[in-house]
Structure 1
Amino acid sequence: MGKKGDRSLANEHTTAAPRRRVRPAVLLKGAVSLLAAWLMLAYLIMPMVWSEYAQRHPTFDENPRVTQTADHHPGDPLNVALVGAQTQIQSLMAAADWYAAVGLGLDSDLKIAADTVLSRPDDDAPVSSLYLFGRKEDLAFEQPVGDNPRHRHHVRLWKTGETTADGRPKWIGSAVYDQRVGFSHTTGAITHVTAPDVDAERDYLFKCLEATEKLADQYVIPNFHKQLEGLNGGGDPWQTGGSLYVGIVADEADAN
């Protein structure tokens, strides 16, 4: 009796419980919920997220990558961009202790020559013109180094003609360091010789801009350049990792 009873109990415990079937209506309801969630994510939430991102982080894909000289030779590579009104750009650069550079001319040329020989500082020493969109730079700024204009930081900026989603102008430019005065490899004329590492000058400019606390945002567009080295109009070599640095100027109430 004991053994038979034990076998009966074991059979009862080892018998598998019947599986509960999921009703088709429940499966359909779950599928509809998943579909609705996907539609909301793909066609409502993500487009809104990317629209907001694009508004705050405009691209510069339609722009050239390298400036040109007056005789259509390649100039300096583009490596910086700003978003804001012209008055905002000028205010930002002044706050960063960068000075507006004067245009080339007989008076400015004679002045910088004298300042170079006499080792006198020249806050608004001229920069030569480079061209983009068929015109020379709209704005140019520089920051002297020491007491001699032979070497200096400088940047040229062009208004692109494009605006962001909220109507703010886009600017693109080239920041390059003048490391000494020498002879142009292409024309033989006396000119500034530029340092090859244009990324270092780009980084320095943005370090100055960050210190002003007038940037609302900044970001990097990687792989902006596919060609990572070349020669500028004076025959000076340049090299870059390919990134474009973009700064969004704080939207002040007095901007035009």
Structure 2
Amino acid sequence: MLSSMPGNDASRVMKLNYVICRATGFGRFERWAMVSQEVDHAVDSDQLRHPAGGRREWLSTLRYGLIVVLLGYLAVAYVVLPLGWWRYEKRHPALTNAPTLTHTKLGIPGDPLNVGFVGSEEQLIKAFHAIGWTEAEKIDLKSSVGIAESTVLDRPDAVAPVSSLYLFGRKQDLAFELPVGESARQRHHVRLWRCEEKDDQGRLFWIGSVTFDERVGLSHTTEEITHHISPDVDGERDGLLNSMLKAKQIEAIEYVNDFQPQAQGKNGGGDPWKTDQRLGWGTLID
């Protein structure tokens, strides 16, 4: 074993062994003399097998290896892990055990929740107006007639109502839309619910579902006239958040990975949807 060590290391080991033997009374000096001769022989043999240049190269490689390991440890311990914990702690407490799906009035699973905002109701309304979205009207006789005329006669209706979905035992608190084309057949729209929890700064969290109505037709489950959504709910999520960021209405875009327990499903109208299972959110700017 000693013969496999570089000469200086083997010599140090044997000298340490001698000190231990003297301190403990174990062994005699004569034994040390015999071992010392073995060490000298090992050193001489090592010098023959490993010239000075080879030893220097070996030590240099070892030194650089230790430096790399040390730098890796420092990066993980003082940068990666603290950043990960900071991002986790930065999350709004409402995201802990948050629901993942809306439901219809009959309790049928609705659209998946995929977006959220931190801030007040006033900030939220201002932010949507800044990117050209308008508040959807409440469903009543007048608004129902209006959306029917818009759909059939190709008339604009920027405030057409959206159907009610439920979360926390109530229908959406706010709904916004952005029409596409000349009627209410196609539109981007989002439903939002106010969560009860506040963060350490007293700010609310609004969780919602943003989808794209791509056509009007009969519900696959109830046969009622309804909008059918595009299955690409992630595209709607990212489009909305990027519009908010570009308009300087949110600080940054954050994501909660694995928020949705499943990557695909169907809503209350029988429309399929698919997702990368992330919820995107942002903190509103005053």
TM-score when scaled to structure 1?
0.78
For 1:50-69, what aligned pairs fall within 5 Å after superposition?
53-54=87-88, 56-58=90-92, 60-69=95-104
* Higher relative strand content: 1
Q: How many residues align?
A: 220
Structure 1 equivalent of residue 220 of structure 2: 185
* Higher relative helix content: 2
Secondary structure of the corresponding residue to residue 126 of structure 1: coil
Structure 2 equivalent of residue 218 of structure 1: 253
Alignment check: 8 A CA contact 1:55 1:166 kept: no
Q: Which of 158, 168, 186 is the aligned partner of 1:123? A: 158
- Distance in 1 of aligned mates of 2:244 and 2:278: 17
| Deviation readout 1:45-69 (Å, 9 max, x if unpaired) | 9998777544533361311110000
Secondary structure of the corresponding residue to residue 241 of structure 2: helix
For 1:28-67, what aligned pairs fall within 5 Å after superposition?
53-54=87-88, 56-58=90-92, 60-67=95-102
- In structure 2, do the counterparts of structure 1 residues 116 and 49 end up closer, same or farther at CA, with 3 Å as the change threshold? closer
Letter in 2 for 1:249: L
Alignment check: 8 A CA contact 2:245 2:252 kept: no
Offset at residue 123 of structure 1 (A): 0.7
Secondary structure of the corresponding residue to residue 217 of structure 1: coil
- Distance in 1 of aligned mates of 2:271 and 2:88: 36
Offset at residue 190 of structure 1 (A): 0.7
In structure 1, the gaps of 5 or more residues are: 1-13, 22-41
Letter in 1 for 2:92: P
Offset at residue 164 of structure 1 (A): 1.4
Secondary structure of the corresponding residue to residue 252 of structure 2: strand
- Distance in 2 of aligned mates of 1:168 and 1:52: 18
- Distance in 2 of aligned mates of 1:237 and 1:57: 29
* Two-structure CA RMSD over aligned residues (Å): 2.9
Letter in 2 for 1:68: H
TM-score when scaled to structure 2?
0.70
Offset at residue 230 of structure 1 (A): 1.1
Letter in 2 for 1:93: F
Q: Which of 197, 202, 205 is the aligned partner of 1:162? A: 197
Larger Rg: 2
- Distance in 2 of aligned mates of 1:53 and 1:200: 24
* RCO comparison, higher one (Cα < 8 Å, 6+): 1
Percent identical: 44
In structure 2, the gaps of 5 or more residues are: 1-6, 17-76
Secondary structure of the corresponding residue to residue 116 of structure 1: helix
Alignment check: 8 A CA contact 1:57 1:219 kept: no
